[in-house]
Amino acid sequence: MSKIIIRNNSSASDYKALLLVQDVIAEGRVSASGKSYCCETTFTVDQERFAVYSQSNRASDTFRIEDYNI
């Protein structure tokens, strides 16, 4: 059994943050030879930009959502 941790440090609602993480998970483990989710994914939703950072830990995956401003 695995654990997913979501740290929403952005202006996105918790619901929107959950949908962003869902999209990253749907793409599968594509980093570190298939062991990790993409380490950084950027999204534009309703003219707002967000970055989702992922980190694989021994017993969990942590996702951090940040506002993404260029």
Q: What is the pLDDT of residue 2?
A: 83
Question: What three-state secondary structure class fits 65?
Answer: strand
Q: What is the pLDDT of residue 11?
A: 95
User: Which pLDDT tens digit goes with each residue over 46-69?
Assistant: 899 999 999 998 899 999 999 998
Q: What is this structure's pTM?
A: 0.89
Query: Please, which residues bridge with residue 44 across strands?
Result: 49
How far does the chain reach from its first CA to its final CA, in angstroms?
37
User: Which pLDDT tens digit goes with each residue over 4-40?
Assistant: 999 999 999 999 999 999 999 999 999 988 889 999 9
Q: What is the pLDDT of residue 34?
A: 87
